[in-house]
Amino acid sequence: MDDRKKDIVRDRGFGILLQYDGCSAPKGFIQWISDRLDLNCSDFLVGGKIIPLSTLSAHLFLGLPMEGEDIRQAYSESTKSQFLSAIKESSLPLIKTFGQKLLRDTLCDDDVFRYFMVVALSMFLCANSSTLPSPFYLAPLIDVSKERVMGWNWSKLVYDWIFSSISNYKKKRRSTIGGCRYFLAVCLFFLAAFIYSVICV
């Protein structure tokens, strides 16, 4: 994206996401981490140590807002149609289409932010195997004024998404794990390092 579009993202309060371009984690490592999550308390049990996975950890490690409305609970039957009306489309485009259109110079500021967030959510924060964006995170992308988009609990969305994905992986024996795998890996690494440093002092 050019500087104008990056400035739009920063102005809406989500410039931190521009720093995560290309960040991921190996599938085998993510599966190893997920196998150690206690679904009853949302804690990792590693080497006899307890490492929490929570909305707060998503906020601390990704820098996303932690206060405000619950995004998934805001979903309704009209969410998709309202979003389509906002982007002036009759059907939901593929994720790659949002990415392609984001490179154009004809988008207004609101659409730049909408398209960027759809790509960021679909490919990074709430990733899954679908080629279409999930309607469950479209509600905050209808009114994208800075005051409105900062009024949603984005950290809870990321936490809920990855916890649900790990739960499905463990209970339904899914072969893949969606959500923000980078957050999962970094969260475990830094919290484990912190606990180790405290013990060694």
**Residue 61 in contact with residue 125, Cβ under 8 Å?**
no
Average pLDDT of span 65-89: 95
Q: Residue 63 belongs to what domain range?
A: 3-200
The model's pLDDT over 53-70, given as tens digits with 9 standing for 90+, comes to 899 989 988 899 999 999
pLDDT at 186: 80
Pick the range with the lowest mean pLDDT from 2-11, 41-50, 100-109, 119-128: 41-50
Please tell me the total count of domains within the chain: 1
Vertex 164 angle, CA 147 and 15, to 5°: 30
**Residue 11 pLDDT greater than 50, yes or no:** yes
State how far the alpha carbon of 95 is from the alpha carbons of 44, 70, 133, 168, 173, in Å.
32, 23, 6, 23, 26
pLDDT at 23: 67
**Residue 177 in contact with residue 30, Cβ under 8 Å?**
yes
User: What mean pLDDT, rounded, does the chain reach?
Assistant: 88
